[in-house]
A and B are shown apart, each in its own frame.
Chain A
Amino acid sequence: MKRFRYAYEFFVVLMLLLFAHAFYWIFLHSPMEAQMGIVQKIFYFHVPSAISMFLGLSVCAGSSVIYLVFSRRKKGRGLWAGINNFFVERRDNVDALARSGAELGLIYASIVLVTGPLWGRKAWGTYWEWDPRLTLTLLVFLIYVAYLFLRAFAAESESRKRIAAGLGALGFADVPLIHYAVQMWGGTHPNVMGKGGGGIKDPTMQAAFMISMATMYIMFGLLLYTRYSIERQQVELDRAYARLIDYELGEPPVVAASAKPSQ
């Protein structure tokens, strides 16, 4: 946040402008859908939230895999050794990114699980159906709740980070199942955008949807960057505290090789 302050502020302003624009297109400009009426408008923030949820969980799973795979420095000058050492030096950052991704994925999953039933009540006559896609979404939500609980309440150690990374990577196996649930198992969840769905034909509806997507993605990027910066700064803060305690106790400060703030 310190390094990209101006770019960050620019994107905040852009996001606010797009938000106002999306509001106008969704509620004032785009027409009502013929079959579903007003309630179809939930689609404009339900779908982008679901995609942002996938993005957040992908960031978490990708970072978790990197954390687990690249754990020790390798000797040599080859490409693989170079990649390995690059990530080993930045393990704290990778871990911070995994946590940030999981947290954001969970927030967007909450939005999906709130807006979906609101639409379902009107379209299906019930808030909840034990449909494959809905059930798997609830499952992924619970897996990442467990992930965050593990990170928040287990004692700070390398093994906690490794277990959390394992959970973050394995939990992601549910995400492709959510995506393909309708094609594989059917169910009541409609498939508008994916394979088999006809999509949106009306240009005004398309525009409203695209603007909503852009707004949500920028919001996601900003939130991820802010959350990641906080995690990184917390690591620096913890090290500074440790150094201060060492000084105050009169012992020479123990500074690990990776203790210098990474930029």
Chain B
Amino acid sequence: MREMMMRHFTLLTVALVLTVLLSPTSFAESPPMKLGVPKIERQKERFVITIPVLTPEKSDPGKPRVVDREPTSETKPGTKKPSSGSLTMQASREKVSGMTMLVLAYLFIWAAVFGYMLFLRRVFRRQERDLAELNARLRALKAEKS
């Protein structure tokens, strides 16, 4: 049973590590969001990020969502400025791919926990069978001796 437990723990660890490795492909590897202070300043001084209230995003159909990122060749000065429509499309594509990865990570973690639960139930059933078998053998031996 101990070997089975260790094997399961290894599998669970691999599953969790895979979650981390898979996730960077979308939302984690994209540039950091502006959370009050830029990253460089943040590294210089120690401070507490306080998020006083978690507030929902206001939906304003007329205004595209501002995405903070490094200037790309498309947005560098002197190059052709993209239309606001393409920016919105890009933001929306990122939102969808980020959401997909987050859903996958969520399901992956829950699958690992459910897997652990199913495994525990299987171990319990096996123990029950072994115990019944042992008790039967003990009863038979007792009867034989008496």
Contacts and interface: CB of A to CB of B under 8 A. Distances in A.
Given A124-B42, A234-B127, 9 more contacts: A32-B56, A38-B99, A39-B27, A124-B39, A127-B28, A219-B117, A226-B120, A226-B124, A244-B134
Contacts of A192: 51, 54
A191 B134 contact: no
Interface string B78-115: 00000000000000000100110011011001100100
Given A114-B19, A118-B20, A237-B134, A186 B46 contact: yes
B53 A118 contact: no
Contacts of B95: 32, 37-38
B98 A118 contact: no
Given A45-B106, A117-B20, A190-B49, A34 B2 contact: no
Interface string A215-248: 0000100110011011001101100110110011
A229 B48 CA distance: 44
Chain B residues touching A, range: 35 or more
Given A114-B19, A201-B54, A230-B124, A247 B138 contact: yes
Contacts of A226: 117, 120-121, 124
Given A222-B117, A230-B127, A241 B56 contact: no
A119 to B, nearest CB: 9
A121 B32 contact: yes
A30 B57 CA distance: 10
A159 interface: no
Interface of B: 1-2, 6, 12-13, 16, 19-20, 23-24, 27-33, 35-36, 39, 42, 46-58, 95, 98-99, 102-103, 105-106, 109-110, 113, 116-117, 120-121, 123-124, 127-128, 130-131, 134-135, 137-138, 141-142, 145
A19 B110 contact: yes
B20 A114 contact: yes
Nearest to B42: A124
B58 A34 contact: yes
B102 A107 contact: no
Given A107-B12, A248-B141, A233 B33 contact: no
Interface in A99-115: 107, 110-111, 114-115
A182 interface: yes
A2 B27 CA distance: 45
B13 to A, nearest CB: 7
A61 B54 CA distance: 34
Interface string A58-94: 0000000000000000000000000000000000000
A229 B123 CA distance: 10
A123 interface: yes
Given A122-B32, A124-B39, A226-B124, A38 B54 contact: no
A198 interface: yes
A227 B120 contact: yes
B117 A199 contact: no
A244 B141 contact: yes
Contact of A188 (B42, B102, B135): B42
